[in-house]
Amino acid sequence: MLEKIKKDFNTMTWVLIPVAVAINVVMGQIVVLLKLPVYLDSIGTVLVGALCGPWAGALTGAMSNIIWGLAIDPNAFPWWPVAFMIGYMSGRMANWGFFKSWWKVVVTGFVVALTAAIVSTPIGVYLYGGITASGSSFITAYLLQTGQGMISAVLSTNFLVEPVDKITTAMLAFAIVQGLSKRFVARFPRPENVEGEAGGQMQLYIAVGVVFLLVLFAAFMLRNILGG
């Protein structure tokens, strides 16, 4: 077990983790300030998970929320177990070959989303009463007004928002990897996780296109909720 954990960490891992944490915190804070119905605070976590492995991804996720919570927004701190599991599952999916083409990355995002939804629901319900600083709380509030119970409303919100967010996040991380040179990627612990299948350049274009469509969907969803 210890050897598997140690495999995730080399010099490049320790160089990438602070960069990934900064990406997570900056993107997450922007989303909170704009009240967007997504999170986008795990791009760096998924990136580390894919390139370095599940334990490095888990550490990145946990550190991101702990640092974010202690330095900027205390509301970010309690979510570190969710971020830990996002990083771990991202790395696991990459180890299993699900970070090599755009459609496999969609599957990765969906699996990570289900994990995040399950882990985050108790935190959202018992610590925040279902209403957090995220824009997704607009959806929860709407569902509560329709008569749904607290747990049902929070869980429904998570299963609606998380797939959009995590597939977008995974696609953005995938696009970053596609833009890196093979020589540079080879310096990380698990370069085999991201060895692309045929049509590398086209994979990048498709990833960007999927992200664009998901962003449009999120904007449409928020508009309908606020308008309704």
Q: What's the whole-number mean pLDDT along residues 151-166? A: 79
- Cα distance between the two ends of the chain: 51
Which residue from 6, 5, 94 is spatially nearest to 50, judged by alpha carbons?
A: 94
Which residue from 58, 92, 71, 59 is spatially nearest to 25, judged by alpha carbons?
A: 71
Domains of the chain: 2-227 (1.10.1760.20)
Q: Look-up: residue for tokens 């077990």? A: 1
Percent of the chain with pLDDT over 90: 51
Residue 213 is given by DSSP the state: H
pTM of the model: 0.85
Decide if pLDDT at 223 tops 80: no
Q: What's the whole-number mean pLDDT along residues 132-141? A: 62
In this predicted model, what pLDDT tens digit does every residue of 120-130 receive, in sequence order? 888 888 877 75
Decide if pLDDT at 16 tops 80: yes
Provide the 10 A C-beta neighbour count for residue 86: 35
In this predicted model, what pLDDT tens digit does every residue of 21-46 receive, in sequence order? 999 999 999 988 887 777 889 999 99
Calculate ∠ Cα 31-25-157, nearest 5°.
45
Residue 20 in contact with residue 47, Cβ under 8 Å? Answer: yes
